[in-house]
């Protein structure tokens, strides 16, 4: 069946939506933990976005709109296929453990930003991928995609307080997971005896 949408519609879609395909793919890989499933998720997202692009309000955040579509598809289709949610105890995770260690270096104005900007490699990606799904989603949307709290809330259909809480807990889990890496890599110096 031929596409009957006017050429202007297609051009606008290409200009406003297609430019976000790499960001969608990057996040889809983290959501699904599979290249094949990520490709399917992004394809389904783009098809749905194209189909309903006339509902998109011109001048609003197209990237956030696409991420909301993708998140909804993921929740509806892929989440049910995954294993049961992980249970966690947060009592043993120190709130500022890693970043407190990093802050001892007086040259850093923002230790968290400095840390993530320097070590975003396979260990960090692995630590993010191993976060429980609910925390992983908000961490990816915030740290990797740069969405604000309200945008994340809109994308995930969560209250802004829930987004902040999950992001806070996700940071704590990353801190704990990355402490040994930071020490091995020389970001944290052992005290001299």
Question: Could you confirm whether domain 7-81 is CATH 1.10.1740.10?
Answer: yes
Mean pLDDT of the chain: 78
Structure token digits, residue 168: 């806070």
Fold of domain 97-184: Arc Repressor Mutant, subunit A (1.10.10)
- pLDDT per position as a tens digit, 56-69: 888 889 999 999 99
Across the range 123-134, mean pLDDT stands at 82
Question: What does the domain layout of the chain look like in residue ranges?
Answer: 7-81, 97-184
Least confident of 8-22, 100-114, 164-178: 100-114
CB-side neighbour CA atoms (13 Å) of 36: 0
**Could you please report the per-residue DSSP string of 36-72?**
HHHHHHHHHHHHHHHHTGGGS-TTS-HHHHHHHHHHH
CA 106 – CA 75 distance, rounded (Å): 43
- pLDDT per position as a tens digit, 86-127: 444 444 444 444 444 444 444 545 555 555 555 556 777 788
């Amino acid at each position: 069946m031929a596409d009957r949408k006017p050429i202007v519609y297609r051009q606008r879609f290409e200009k406003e939506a297609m430019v976000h395909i790499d960001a969608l793919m990057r996040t889809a890989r983290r959501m699904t933990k599979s290249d094949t499933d990520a490709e399917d998720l992004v394809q389904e997202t783009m098809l749905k976005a194209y189909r309903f692009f006339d509902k998109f309000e011109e001048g609003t955040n197209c990237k956030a709109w696409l991420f909301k579509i993708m998140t909804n598809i993921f929740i509806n289709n892929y989440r049910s296929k995954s294993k049961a949610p992980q249970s966690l105890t947060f009592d043993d995770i120190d709130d500022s453990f890693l970043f407190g260690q990093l802050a001892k270096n007086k040259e850093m104005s923002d230790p968290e930003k400095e840390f993530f900007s320097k070590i975003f490699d396979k260990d960090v990606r692995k630590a993010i991928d191993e976060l429980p799904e609910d925390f992983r989603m908000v961490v990816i949307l915030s740290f990797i995609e740069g969405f604000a709290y309200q945008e994340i809330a809109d994308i995930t259909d969560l209250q802004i307080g829930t987004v902040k809480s999950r992001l806070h807990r996700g940071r704590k889990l990353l801190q704990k997971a990355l402490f040994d890496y930071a020490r091995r890599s020389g970001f944290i110096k052992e005290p001299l005896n």
